[in-house]
Structure 1
Amino acid sequence: MTRTLRAAIALTGTAALSLSALLTTGVAQATSGQAAKQQVRIGLLLPESKTTRYEKFDRPYIEAKIKELAPDARIDYYNAAESATTQQQQVNTALAKGDKVLILDAVDSKSIQSSVEKANAAGVKVVAYDRLAQGPVDAYVSYDNKKVGQLQGQALLDALGDKAKSGQIVMHNGSPTDPNAAEFKAGAHSVLDGKVKIGKEYDTPNWDPNNANQQMSGAIAALGKDNIVGVYSANDGLAAGISTALKASGLSVPLTGQDAQLDAVQRILAGTQTITVEKPYKPEADIAATMAVNLAEGKKLTKDLIPTTVTSGSGEKVPATLLTPVVVNKDNIKDTVVKDGLYTVKEICTPAYADACKKAGLE
């Protein structure tokens, strides 16, 4: 074999090795790219389904935004059905499946702390959604919950007018395991205390409308219906149970709410509920989804996503976004829940509410 031929063969071998190396590198890069895509794996853990917002709005909005930002993302969805124990088990399942970020709306902000700590130890990020869980949470998005209570309290006082001093109100503050409920309560008390007499005050575990109904019936029996001038309800689910008890007793007084549920908007039109507080779900959901995708991709959250900080019940400082709530009354339904896309006029103005809608200018 000539020296020239040997050199040519060697060169060919080198080229083959280089081509093989390039192909191997290309496969490795492709595999790496696929792995990077697979890393956008998010667990969405919501607390319950009795409140219509979670299945009707929060879940679809969050999932749609995640898919918009990361089309190949995998979303594992869990609903705890009001059980703190179930939610703890669901966190374990999410971690076992390999979720890299959890969007967590806690059933019980205290009992979930050990699960948050477990996620943190595994390198899994936690975005607290709507309710601030205890433990090392990485980010939080909600509404200014104390402001919600202040808006409710002021709306109740405005509706009472001169009657504020002539009777008593009943307060229904929501679930004691929900940290938001404590903030609603504090906000309401900051407005109501000293301006109206509180005859009865209740916590309602799991935000159960049936319990609220029984509590209201008990309050009417204890205080006498002629002595009750108004009712503070922390949300629309409770207001549904309360309004039934009021109707059964032939009592018509101002009643507050929150969440802008469809039935609450219809009660406002019918005059059996005075206001609700709208916390537009899409902005909250979009921010949570954006936080989660960024964290799953290993990015730091920008200041526009976390402009402030809050302190959890366990003492952690958590980067946060707090959005501004809006009062909905009979006069601004079109400019709030309809304009924001929660409901169409057709959905609100069913035959039973046609006359009330016409009077309110909803046509």
Structure 2
Amino acid sequence: MTAFLTRALDHIRDDVRALHAYQVHSAAGLLKMDAMENPYRLPEALQQALGERLGRVAINRYPGERTGELAQALARHAGMPAHNGIMLGNGSDELISLLSLAVARPGATVMAPVPGFVMYELSARYLGLNFVGVPLTADFELDEAAMQAAIQAHQPALLYLAYPNNPTANLWNPDVIERLVQAAPGLVVIDEAYQPFAARNAMGLLDRYEHVLVMRTMSKFGLAGVRIGYLMGHAEVVHHVDKLRPPYNISVLNAEAGLFALEHADVYEQQAAELRAERARLLTELAGLPGVVAFPSEGNMILTRVPDANAVHAGLKARGVLIKNVSGMHPLLAGCVRLTVGTPQENHTMLTALRGVLADLAPSVAP
């Protein structure tokens, strides 16, 4: 290590140097079933129409009015109450970072149930905030008593409630959520990233509670590569968070692609309906596999407990299928992997590979 490199590293925070970066594993040559993406592309005619439309965009100019038009189109699509405000982020990840920045006073606490989306904790720690994770129950429900006690003890400036949750994929009891909202002293963010696949949502809370924000994304809608997240809530609250947003954070191409998608929302809804049907079929198929427990899902993923998560992950990868091994994320997830719901053919391929892996493991896990 040269003196120049030592000098440079000395000025990077110790806690940052000690952190582990968010990992995105290569899926080259593999069936990608690890990231909850919509597996369907647009029909060819719409691909051509989108390409022609993007070709006409003035990419020599900074983003302007079309970004605002996208925000309003998303508000209408979500059914946002008229008196609320909306802001856009470069995916939900940027919104989570901006929310942490907005509450980043010395000693402030961010809270979320765990296991949950890792970026809630990471974004808090990046800014030196306290993070308090409150464990779910053994069946991945909110532990209301523990949550209430933690809220009372830590007075969180920011409370995240993912609805459905990631990676457990379940919707929590709405009455419990509302009681936690009533107890929370700071902002409450309902993260509805998987709303296209869920039986209900929490938009009604915006009419009743001015400290509640609802966060959604176009990623699960079918535009994961476009990176558009949006945050809705009381206009004044959103206005203050929006001050922290970098100028021009949504490119003109992304905004135009988002508007195009909303104009063809029926196509994406049909895709979501097909994925919900495939989810039901997958749950039935998984229930019949030896040593496998598939948990109820309201997302486009299924949390599954298997005899040996590490061996199943490695075995599937060797057979050309990439899934997410979540067994080390939290003690409640011991033995668990997360499976993305794909097309009928993708799901067939994944199930065939999983049956093969389980058959190979059977002698080693037999009593």
For the aligned pair, the TM-score class normalised by the smaller chain equals 0.3 to 0.5
Q: Which has the higher contact order (CA 8 A, sep 6+)?
A: 2
Higher helix share: 1
Tell me which structure has the larger Cα radius of gyration.
Answer: 1
TM-score (ref. length: structure 1)? 0.32
